[in-house]
Amino acid sequence: MLVKEPESIHKIRFMDCDPIGHLSNIRYFDYMLNAREDHCLENYQIDNYEQSKKTGCLWVVLQNQIAYIKEVKFNQQIKITSKIIKFSDKTNTVEILMYDKEKKMIHAVLWLTLIYFNLKTRKSEEQPHNIINLFEDLKVNIPEDSFENRVSAFHNKNKEIQTI
């Protein structure tokens, strides 16, 4: 059975934090992208580097949208999840969420749009049919229709948790 939303636990390292002990903004990307890469390899046997060697194509980032919702601190354990939320013939959009370890409080959300890119022609191309079929099986529908609405929903969720 395919895991639609893989998750992994990570520990925030001192070297990734600013002088007051909060995770530096740019390092959110590193933790989230590394987690997604691991999720793809461990759950779907997709390795972007191997894909490029085998087919001459790979996925490259077309757009990032990130919201920092609640600070993450040095030595904190976090849980990162990732899932496909949209795809087309040439692109796919992945939502990566950074939670606290208990998966209650949301720290950050990243929407990552990738395009399938041919390294020889230097142009985008359609994703292979087996990948499209996999995305059809893995796609997770989310209730919000835009990044801004999604972020707002997460802010509201965190407020509810903090008032309990």
pLDDT band at 162 (very low <50, low <70, confident <90, very high): confident
Which top CATH class is 7-163?
alpha beta
Kindly state the average pLDDT of the residues 25-37.
Answer: 98
Residue-range domain boundaries for the chain: 7-163
CA-based nearest residue to 31, from 12, 6, 4: 12
DSSP string, 100-121: ETTS-SEEEEEEEEEEEEETTT
C-beta of residue 91 within 8 angstroms of C-beta of residue 115: yes
C-beta of residue 57 within 8 angstroms of C-beta of residue 117: yes
List, in sequence order, the alpha helices (H) in 45-75.
48-55
Distance CA 66, CA 72 (A): 15
Distance CA 3, CA 138 (A): 8
State residue 148's pLDDT score: 98
List, in sequence order, the alpha helices (H) in the chain.
25-44, 48-55, 129-138, 147-163
Residue 100 token pair: 């606290």
State residue 163's pLDDT score: 79
List, in sequence order, the alpha helices (H) in 57-128.
none
What does pLDDT average to over the chain?
97
CA-based nearest residue to 82, from 48, 42, 25: 42
pTM: 0.95
Please report, in angstroms and rounded to a whole number, the separation of the first and last CA atoms in the chain.
36
Taking 70 as the threshold, does the pLDDT of residue 82 lie above it?
yes
For residue range 15-29, what is the model confidence (pLDDT) as tens digits? 999 999 999 999 999
